[in-house]
Amino acid sequence: MKVVEVLHMNGGNGDISYANNSLVQGLIEEQKLDAFNIPQYTPSPAEVKYIVEKENSFTINRLEATRVHWNASNDHINGGYNVSRCMRAVAEPLLVSQFGTKLMDLVFQKHEEIVSYCMAKEKTEFINVTVSFDQEKIRPLNVEGGLRI
């Protein structure tokens, strides 16, 4: 099995961090930003295989790592827009619960600008790990004349 490198996301540091830019602009209270955390960990295929085998409830049928370009059409003009809309569909409910609805259009407009900037500078892609597995059969136990299901 080929092991793909672990990719780390920007933790909110740097010149293109929209969290830092929003703080500087006074749009988000520092206390609310400090209290907000969405930890993300993306395991390698080897890590997924190890954990599934160690847990021993499933048998892996197929395990694949696929590189997916941020913008499937390679349209750099609308690439940032497309990626930002996908991210908004996932992240907006979490952000609204912490920061309210007032800034959402501005946050995702800034996100679109940052993504467009990154896409113009480098080849951008996600790594998807897809697993197909079967559950191991559980042997029935005779418990007071019945079977354990």
Query: For position 128, what pLDDT does the model report?
Result: 85
23-61 per-position pLDDT tens digit = 546 777 888 888 888 777 778 899 999 998 898 888 899
Q: What is the CATH number of the domain that holds 60?
A: 1.10.1200
**How many degrees, rounded to 5, is the angle at CA 90 between CA 124 and CA 111?**
50
Task: With 0.85 as the threshold, say if the pTM is over it.
Answer: no
**Burial group, residue 103, by CB count within 10 angstroms (0-12, 13-18, 19+):** middle
Residue 63: its pLDDT value, please? 92
Please report the pLDDT score of residue 3 as a whole number: 37
Query: Does a structural domain hold residue 116?
Result: yes
Q: Which amino acid makes up residue 121?
A: K
Instruction: Indicate the SS3 state at residue 140.
Output: coil
Residue 96 lies in a domain: yes
DSSP H helices, 1-132, are: 18-24, 30-35, 45-55, 79-99, 104-121
pLDDT digits 0-9 by tens, 126-145: 888 889 988 876 555 555 55
Residue 149 has pLDDT above 50, yes or no: no
* Domain interval for residue 69: 18-137
Establish if 144 belongs to a structural domain.
Answer: no
Contact 32, 98 (CB under 8 A): yes
pLDDT reported for residue 37 = 82
Answer yes or no: is 7 within a domain: no
> Contact 40/100 with Cβ under 8 angstroms?
no
The answer to whether residue 113 is domain-embedded is yes
Q: How far is CA 38 from the centre of its chain?
A: 10
Mean pLDDT of the chain: 76
Residue 93 lies in a domain: yes
pLDDT exceeds 50 at position 112: yes
Domain count, the chain: 1
> Is the residue at 11 inside a domain?
no
pLDDT at position 22: 58
